[in-house]
Each structure stands twice: as structure tokens, then as C-alpha cells.
Structure 1
Amino acid sequence: MALIAASALGWVIYHYAYDHFAQAAADQEPPKPVNINDPLKASVTALTLIGAVLAGLYAYRKQLLAEGDAHRADASQLADRYTTAAEQLGHNQAAVRLAGVYALARLADDWTEQRQVCIDVLCAYLRMPYEPDPSLPSHKEGEREVRHTIIQVIRDHLQEPDAATAWCLHDFNFTGAVFDGGDFTTSHLRGVVSFSGATFSGGTVSFDSATFSGGDVSFSGATFSGGDVGFDHATFSGSTVHFTDATFSGSDVNFDNAKFSGRDVYFSGATFSGGSVTFTGATFSGRDVHFGGATFSGSIIYFGRTTFSGRDVYFSGATFSGSNVRFRAATFSTGTVSFDHATFSAGILTFPDATFSGSTVRFRNATFSGTRFEWGPLPVPAGA
């Protein structure tokens, strides 16, 4: 069939070429006979070009098929690696689970299309029930080491945003996870980050110098009940930050020198009933800061040298019933500082050396029954 088709095509090309050269010869004065070699050469040249094009198309098609087979083979191999790593993470022995952590991290580096899936599996492991107290029956031997290794692996992939294997642009879901330590220092997080409902129950969890510059950051409903949690020099530059309904009942949490320059910051409904929370040298230069409905019943809350230069600061409806809340040398340079409908029944609220250079401080409908106020050398604002 191919030979017949080629012969027919050659016959057509030959006759077309012959007619072309015959017409050209007849147009000459005087007319000349056709040189048979001319149409033969033209036919051979045309057939050669057509054959070369067909050979190139065949080679290209063959290459595409080979690349498709190689891609499918690679995908199959990566899927097999994923299955193996997932099985290792579910193993009873901690050493095997550790191997699964490293295997899944390497797979995430190699498998760009499914990197988020690999990250989701590691985060899901941290969300699984965990008992950090070794004296309780539900405690698993070696589990703390596995979980801290996952945190370390995640941190290692968040250090260089421009690296080919960086995970900085991906989302991290730690909702409801239990942390009894962990290091996220100098991490760059540009996706959505959720610690909603997480429990910080011991050890040291550090977000020092971390950068949150992409999606929203949520610690809504998180519980800080033990250990130290640090956000020293952390930067929140493009996100809405939620600590809504968080509970600070026994941890020392510091936001010292942190910078909030994105959107709104929410501590609405948060409970401060133990430990200490410090914002020494912190800067709020984005939009509104919300502590509305928060309860301060037994903590030390320190806003020393904190700068509020965004829009409004709300403590509306907050309850101050036993905490020591200090705004020493704080600066309020824009907007309104509202304590409207707040309840002051015990504790200390102080503003020594604070500067109100562009703000209005309001205490409309606030209730005072036992809180001690200190304003330092500043005149007491109207309504206080």
C-alpha cells in the first residue's frame, strides 16, 4: 500500500513537473524540446522533501509516545513511593514512622504536582490525637520525636522562598493539633496557615522572626496552656490575623517586636486567665486591632513601647477582672482607642508615659468597680 501510494504520488509529481517544463520550453523562441532529466530531478527532489517531512513527523510522534510512557512510568513510581511512605507513617514502630516522614518529604521535593498533598499528609499526622504525658496509657513511645521531626522537616522547607524545593507558597493546616514544642523560627509562610483550635501545652514553640505574608493566619480557638510560645520579631505583612476566642491560661506568649502591617488583627473574645502575654516593642500599622469582648482575669498583659499607628483599637465590651494590663510608653498615633462598654472590676490598667498623639480614647458606658488606673504624667482622657 505504501509503495503503491508512493508510486502514484511520484507519477503525479512527474507529470506535473513535465507539464511545467514543457510549457516553459514551448514559450521559448524558437521552441525547444523538453530535457527529460529536468522533470526527473524535480520529481526526485519533491519526493525526497516529502519523505523527510514524513520521517520527521514520525520521529516526533514516536518521541511524544516515548515521553508519555516515561511520564506515566515516573508517575507510577512516584505513586508507589507515596503509598510506601504513607504505610510507613502508619507503622507501630517509631523508627519506621520517622523513615516515612523523611520519605514523604523527599517525595514532596520530587513530585511538584502533588507537593500540597504530601504536605497535607504531614499536617494531618500532627492533627491526629496525641498524648504528650508519658505516664498516661494513651501515650505512644517515640511519638514526640516523630512529631518534632515533622515540624523540623516543614521548617527546613520554609527557609528559602526562592528554592526549587521550597514549600513557602503552600497551605498548612494544623487545626486542632497538639504542640509540646517545635521550632518554626525564620520560616516564610505565604499561603493560608491555620492553627485554629490547636493546643500549646508545654515545651517551647518558636515563631521568632517568622514571616507571614500571604494568606490569612488563624489561631482562632487555640489554647495556650503551658510552656513558652514566641513570636519575637515575627512579621504579619499581608494577612488577617485571628486569635479570636483563643485561651491564654498558662503559657508565656510573647509578640515582642512583632510587626502587624497587613489587615485587621483579632483577639476578639480571647481569654487571658493565666501566664503572661507581652507585646513589647510591637507595631500595629495595618488596619483595626480588635480585643473586643476579651476577658482579662488573671494574666499579665504588657504593651510596653507598643505602637498603634493603623486605624482603630477596640477593647469594647472587654472584661478586666483581675489582670495587670500595662501600656507603658505605648504610642497611639491614629484612630480611636475604644473601651466602650468594658467592665473594670479588679486588677490594674496602666498607661504610664503613653503617648496619644492622634487618637481619641473612649470609655463610653464602661463600668468601674475596683480596677486601679495609672496614667503617669499624662492628663486623664475625657470619660475615664
Structure 2
Amino acid sequence: MHIVVVLVLAVAAALTVLGLLWLMLGEPRVQVSGPLKPGDTYDAIKIALAVVAGVGGVVALVVAYRRQHLNEATDLREYGKALIERFGAAAEQLGADQPAVRMAGAYAMARLADEWPQERQMCIDVLCGYLRMPHAPDPPTDDQALASWQREREVRVTVLGLIAAHLRNGAPASWQGYDLDFTGAVLDEADFRGARFTGGDVLFVKTLFAGHGTDQIIFDEADFAEGAHVYFRLAEFRSGTVRFNRSETLPSQGAKSRSRALSSPMAPSTSPARSSPAPQSTLVNTISLPSTARHRQPASAVAPSTCPKWPISATPRDSACR
């Protein structure tokens, strides 16, 4: 298709050059019969020059186009090669022994995801995969092991913070709508305040939220669109505080359902402005966000006749609700 366009443009350019030469040199007057005169020869030379100039223009345009096309393809290959090399370097940093290097690798991978939309999901998967790596939820008692645990915890908090920041409106490059797999991850200081889950599969399946203080498991003002599948199946909330203040579910018809504060993974809060600590080591099948901000009880405690309709796809396999 591009070659056809170039040839059409080249022919047009040749005709333009031929017309200019015709105007500059005058209309050739060549006799079709009788002996040739010196003027006829001169006119024939003018015609030959015009034809040669037109053909030369066509060839020059085709050659220029091919050269530009090859240069662009080479630049594209070099750019793709550079992105792949950056991906490998960032992944290598994430696997380094030094916590500072791992933290730098997290920032490098997030930056690469922003600049590489074609493979953004792959970069996000690497960051989520880092959070799924084994990590002790509780600090060890040994001083040396405690220092190592704290450094690793800072790296994990940084990775989770980078992901959450890209889920908020106003991020330089939005990661909203991409898949996020936190299956089996140990998360502390999970601050998804203002995040928008607009699509894709967001898996908190068997995730352990191990807050070591107050207000560290936060989904305040988070938006859960109907197109997103957010799963909290068998998630465990251990200590800390669980908050879903002013979080909203967004049905497809555009109506918004605002939830009250969720202070505990097993019982609804009666106050929209205050949250209380979650019970120790509570196992939760699912957490959903209907307008009343009720919590799904374990499967054995839910009667089929009382099952509400949850706006978020989070029905467990062993639940009595279908």
C-alpha cells in the first residue's frame, strides 16, 4: 500500500517536472515528415531531458522512501531491543541480594511499564509476582533476622505502593483495567486509598493482610466498576484495621452505590467515620461491597435464602450462595 502511494506521488512529481520544463523551454515543434532541421533536434533533446528528469524524480522518491522506511524499521528494532534490555536489567535488580537494589528494580520496572504499553501487563505481572514470593508475616525475634525482615518489608511496601499509585486517577500512566494477581501474597500496609478497579481480574485469593498497626489495610474511596472481577476468596485479615470508607461500586448503568466503613472482615460497621481493629487471624471467604457494606459470612454460616446479590464477582467455590 505504501509503495503504491509512493509511486503515485512519484508519477505526479514527474508530470510536474515535465510540465515545468515544458513551460521553461517552450513547446517542442518537431516535424513528423521531411528532413530534420537543427531546431527539430533541439526540440527532441528537450523532450528527452524532460522524460529523463521525470524518471529520475520517480526513482529518487522511491529510493528516499525505501531509505526512510528502513531507517524507521531499524530504529524501531533498536528501541524494542533497548526495552527488552531494560526489562532484563530491572528483573535482575528485583532478584538482587541488596534491598536497595531490589527497590531500585521496582522503580525501574514500574517506569518501564509506563513507557511500554504493549508489554505493560508483563511488567505488572513481574511486580505482582514479587509480592507473591514467600515472606514471613510476623517479624522474627532474632535481631539480625529482624533487620533483614524489615528491609524486605520496605521493598514490598514500595512495590505495593507503586501499583496502588498507578490505580488512582491522575497517575502519569494508568494501570487501571489491567490484571493484578496477589494470590497467596503477604501484604502489609496495603493502602489502596482512591484506587479505581475498572476492569480485569484483581485476585486477592488466599491473600494474607498482615497489618502491624492501625489503618494499614485501606480501601477508602476505592471504586469497584462492574467490569472488574475483584476476588477476596479465602483472604485472611490478621491484626491491623480493615477500612472501606466511602468506597463505591459502579454498576454498568452508571449509578453509584456508596458503602459505609468496613471495620472488620466479619461484621458490618455502624459508623461511617470510624473503624475498629479486625479480629486476630480471621479467615474470610469473600468481601464484597453492596450499598449496606455488609460482610459475607463463611460458607457454613450463610443460608441460601439470605444470600444477597453482590456487585463484585467474588463468590467462593464452597459457598452456599450461587
TM above 0.5, yes or no, is yes
Structure 2 segments unaligned to the other structure (5+ residues): 1-27, 253-262, 273-279, 308-322
Paired with 1:183 and 1:250, the residues of 2 have a C-alpha distance of 16
1:216 aligns with 2:225: no
Paired with 2:180 and 2:283, the residues of 1 have a C-alpha distance of 28
AA at the equivalent of 1:71: L
Cα deviation per residue 1:33-80 (whole Å; 9 max; x = unaligned)? 883333322221122122112111111111111112212222222222
Paired with 1:72 and 1:275, the residues of 2 have a C-alpha distance of 50
Deviation, structure 1 residue 164: 5.7
| Equivalent in the alignment of 2:161 | 152
AA at the equivalent of 1:212: F
| Equivalent in the alignment of 1:195 | 204
Higher mean alpha-carbon deviation, 212-221 vs 133-142, is at 133-142
Paired with 2:281 and 2:159, the residues of 1 have a C-alpha distance of 31
Paired with 1:39 and 1:226, the residues of 2 have a C-alpha distance of 97
| Equivalent in the alignment of 1:92 | 97
Paired with 1:250 and 1:212, the residues of 2 have a C-alpha distance of 18
1:70 aligns with 2:75: yes
> Which of these two proteins has the greater Rg computed from alpha carbons?
1
Structure 1 segments unaligned to the other structure (5+ residues): 1-20, 240-247, 258-271, 297-314, 318-337, 341-384
Cα deviation per residue 1:75-119 (whole Å; 9 max; x = unaligned)? 222222111111111112211111111111111112222111111
Tell me, yes or no, if the aligned pair for 1:85 and 1:104 is still in contact at 8 Å. yes
1:112 aligns with one of 113, 117, 122: 117
Aligned residues: 251
AA at the equivalent of 2:219: F
Deviation, structure 1 residue 134: 2.0
AA at the equivalent of 1:128: M
Tell me, yes or no, if the aligned pair for 1:119 and 1:172 is still in contact at 8 Å. yes
1:207 aligns with one of 216, 219, 227: 219
| Equivalent in the alignment of 1:186 | 194
Tell me, yes or no, if the aligned pair for 1:226 and 1:252 is still in contact at 8 Å. no
Distance 1:256 1:89, change over 3 A: farther
Paired with 2:281 and 2:102, the residues of 1 have a C-alpha distance of 38
Aligned-partner SS, 2:168: coil
Aligned-partner SS, 1:224: strand
AA at the equivalent of 1:316: A
* Residue pairs, 1:17-96, within 5 angstroms: 35-96=40-101
TM-score (norm 1): 0.56
* Residue pairs, 1:299-378, within 5 angstroms: 315-317=302-304, 338-339=305-306
- Structure with a larger share of its residues in strand: 1
Tell me, yes or no, if the aligned pair for 1:252 and 1:275 is still in contact at 8 Å. no
2:241 aligns with one of 210, 221, 228: 228
| Equivalent in the alignment of 2:185 | 177
Deviation, structure 1 residue 183: 0.9
Cα deviation per residue 1:106-161 (whole Å; 9 max; x = unaligned)? 11112222111111000000111111322267864311101110111112212236
Percent identity of equivalent pairs: 38
